[in-house]
Structure 1
């Protein structure tokens, strides 16, 4: 069911007067539903991965879960097959946001690929180039995307935020760039306030005020490109909740949007992806607040054998219900990749013991066994008793006693 409880644009556009509220009119809601359906229909197995569409679908509430799963698979396949070396920082940032919106962990695309680490390096390259040449390696729009994605992942992006803020005050950003910078700086601003860090707060706040006025003026004077309007509305929604009477009529803006939808202006899937989030009262700041796995945890599980036979070290990330014992982690790993993570148990007077992992079996004659660690600390409980925490790293090492 389409989540029309989310489609209240007064949250996004607020009010133009005490009596006028800005919402999607009931007789226009079918247009938004149709717009989303049209966008989803463009996604087929042969289509290239499109993170922007995945973000929009998840923010709106994907009507077809198969489409969402296909987009996630396409994104992961590209990353695994082609790598990230040729991707720009903004591309990586979009992939991070897209995976977050689908409750996927961008830090663990595979055991060896962390998009967050890749993005941190590429963002640093942008900042170095900005410091040396007065402009980022790519564009300020991409630097805004980078800052937003890393901020949502909890990475310290104060340096990037300061650079964005300074440039926002020094030059006129395009509408798309200004809107993306607004979303990024809002994320950083909220974290600074929460952490009671005031050193750069004033600069960020000043930039946000400036960008807000620029975007509001462009929307008010109807000089915003129709394809930039979606990001502009997202930016306005996070920087203010009310406007003086007569300053801007959100209802008039909506009328323009729905006229364009009726004429097929947004039938292109990318155009639809740009406008759809704002029509359901969401912004890119919402991608990591979609209720992902509230009752589950992710555990990193590594098996190591440098002792006997063919040496190996394999790592997998598994999701299990919160409160599960370690045995559930081993079971999940076995189900996900039995080629490497199969195991055998044996019941003893001390409880259930793991006697073989990846066909490497313990042997009393040569005094070998499987020893489990939490990071580098040996576990003092068995697999039926120990309860891992979220993001914990469990290691099983073939050892001698």
Structure 2
């Protein structure tokens, strides 16, 4: 019915850490610490922006706007000459998750296309053997997310993971899992090789968790393995991952998470998402009134991957204010309640209100809580009760 708690950072359902007040508090505290690292004139961290988007943080906040602007400026001044391929990849994921087109980054002379820059840097670094397997994995993941696959690089990564002489650290293996899960989901080439590598590596991560009593690698490296294991269940099935144990480790050692990068890596996994979900959401949004002075309008909007429905309404309004204007009333425990759309308000005497649907199923959460899925059709229909 268009109401709900705007501050709920945890998704509904079984994904993410257990739906308790203590877990919600953990996520909020880590998010607060991470956002405190955003300072004017400090080196911007694209991983922080990506984590904020995956969590559905407030993209209207001054800190978010500052970080996004700094990352755009850094791309313009440093991407072509001063960044490694891995740094370009991080910036692409951060911009993409912010609904910014990495192929059209505004610049003084002409827009910058970061995709061929990443491809060229990656191949040059591989040719000169100056690229780490971590950066290779990050590059492969980023190219996969933007649908510019590098099949040869993915096969080489899978072979490295299966090599008995390979001794990759936990962060690298976890990033490799994310990259190969993406490749496996989008292309059937070398399917058995990639799936074999994924099964081998994920089982290795589970073995380390068992030996470490919940810790995978060390505390600062817990974030990427959590994301990797969240995203790769079918490759270590029927074996199960003790996700509650891993989350408990993070919660128990909360005070040790002080570095923005470690926090940015662990937060997505705590809410059941990962860098695989960096691509923004496209949501179709319609408003319909059949009671009096009929109108029906529809639009498609782009929102960051962790966004709530309220953000969809805001983007639609910002893009077409003469059509998708709306008003809300905030209630202490229910959050924002939509009382008017397109100048038409609900009326208690006439028992009318705006009801929200996903396709034709009424939403059970409010606009401040519900998180739309990619290509979902959200309808606001003027209704009676």
Which TM-score band (shorter chain)? 0.5 to 0.7
Secondary structure of residue in 2 paired with 1:48: coil
For 1:148 and 1:248, the matched residues in 2 are separated by 23
Is the 8 Å Cα contact of residues 96 and 115 (structure 1) preserved in structure 2?
yes
What pairs with 1:255-294 in structure 2 (closer than 5 Å)? 255-261=248-254, 264-291=255-282
Secondary structure of residue in 1 paired with 2:217: coil
Among 104, 107, 112, the residue aligned to 1:108: 104
For 2:59 and 2:101, the matched residues in 1 are separated by 21
Pairwise CA distance, 1:67: 2.0
Structure 2 unaligned blocks of 5 or more? 1-5, 285-298, 303-314, 320-385
Is the 8 Å Cα contact of residues 247 and 270 (structure 2) preserved in structure 1?
no
CA deviation string 1:181-205 (max 9, x = no partner): 000011110001xxxx3x4111111
For 1:156 and 1:244, the matched residues in 2 are separated by 30
The yes-or-no answer on 1:253 pairing with 2:249 is: no
Which residue does the alignment assign to 1:215?
Answer: 205
For 1:292 and 1:114, the matched residues in 2 are separated by 25
Among 45, 66, 73, the residue aligned to 1:70: 66
The yes-or-no answer on 1:57 pairing with 2:62 is: no
What pairs with 1:283-362 in structure 2 (closer than 5 Å)? 283-291=274-282, 295=300
Root mean square deviation, CA, Å? 2.5
Q: How many residues align?
A: 276
For 1:79 and 1:23, the matched residues in 2 are separated by 38
Secondary structure of residue in 1 paired with 2:202: helix
Is the 8 Å Cα contact of residues 2 and 61 (structure 1) preserved in structure 2?
no
* Structure 1 residues 150 and 238: alpha-carbon distance in aligned structure 2, compared to 1, 3 A threshold: same
Pairwise CA distance, 1:87: 0.8
Which residue does the alignment assign to 2:94?
Answer: 98
Greater relative contact order structure (CA < 8 Å, 6+ sep): 2
CA deviation string 1:140-191 (max 9, x = no partner): 0000000001111110211110010010111132100000000001111000
The yes-or-no answer on 1:11 pairing with 2:10 is: no
Which residue does the alignment assign to 1:231?
Answer: 224
For 1:34 and 1:84, the matched residues in 2 are separated by 36
Is the 8 Å Cα contact of residues 89 and 123 (structure 1) preserved in structure 2?
yes
Given the two structures, how large is their TM-score scaled by the length of structure 1?
Answer: 0.64
Secondary structure of residue in 2 paired with 1:295: strand
Pairwise CA distance, 1:37: 1.5
For 2:237 and 2:182, the matched residues in 1 are separated by 22
Secondary structure of residue in 1 paired with 2:256: coil
* Structure 1 residues 169 and 116: alpha-carbon distance in aligned structure 2, compared to 1, 3 A threshold: same
* Structure 1 residues 78 and 280: alpha-carbon distance in aligned structure 2, compared to 1, 3 A threshold: same
Which residue does the alignment assign to 1:364?
Answer: none
The yes-or-no answer on 1:191 pairing with 2:186 is: yes
For 2:162 and 2:40, the matched residues in 1 are separated by 44
Pairwise CA distance, 1:256: 1.5
